[in-house]
Chain A
């Protein structure tokens, strides 16, 4: 009797196992979740700063353009008014980005060019998330029509949108 009971239990266990097996592989392969960062944009953040180190609000209208691969201009930031901080895209893997800043006021139209040199780092999060590049800003230079100086304050450009990477010190008119 005892042996029969054990056999029966064994058969029940085997039955459960056999019933569940085809589902196990299916469940383990189908239960996947997509876990991408909330912000997958990698952008540089610029801030207009006074010589005292405070954030400065720009009274003019700012438009930033850059030359595409085919030589035609593309607007990367359009008509920002009364801004102090703004984001600009950064190229995936070009060694240097050339950005032309157009400042438009009532009686003023001035343009300055900023050259941003950088190292590009491939960034992989998951096969479900878009391929991205992180960057390390290595050097920056600019023309001096309206800008006094441009300084890299945080060279590491990632998908953290809150970090200011570059401080722009405009020439202040009295």
Chain B
């Protein structure tokens, strides 16, 4: 095994040397080579700057309790330990916060996607008076500053006596990403050929039956993207939660982390550990779904 590896390394090295010798001989090749190196160097430096804060959180989360504040820049600190993770799970209500977030987010996404899926179908397949007005309403609702609706929603929730409850949060979140979800789903339904439904209609299903049995199963990818979008929006939300929830029992993780990061520098380790635990799944989901999200973001505007 080792022998094979050294052999392979030696071969690669030889190849590199030969390539380098050739490159240095030929001026055009040389220019290309420098350009190549330069591009890689610039990108690597930028990528390092972009990723560094994340790595720093990781390194802070590994620091032992007595060395939390230090001007040390190394990624894996001396005497690295997972103690911060342990005390985060034991001494704070972090799991409870995650659980609160999860419940609120799941209920919100479920409502959002189910409302959006039918509405998008109406926009995609039917001609009816008010269609254009409805689409314009959806688009223009994106222009309302998010901060603007927090106040009336807060007052409504207070009046309904839903402060500090899951239900209040779910109500506040449930339509926030509805316009965008409708927009994504409409775009996807538009790509499904009508002949499929027409065949089903000839065979005797109703229009709603065709939607339920044919369109919905076919559009699972778009539905899951809309679900993910709803999920990440509600999962990362901070400003509404700040005003609706006030007891730390009911906090979502965003509020909890903000509090940990607060005044006491001793809690940095726990803050960092919590950030890592939350960030990794979100990163995974985002990287998986980013391709569709971006096309959804730009699709509508390019067409219009």
A and B assemble together: no
Residues of A within 8 A of B (CB): none
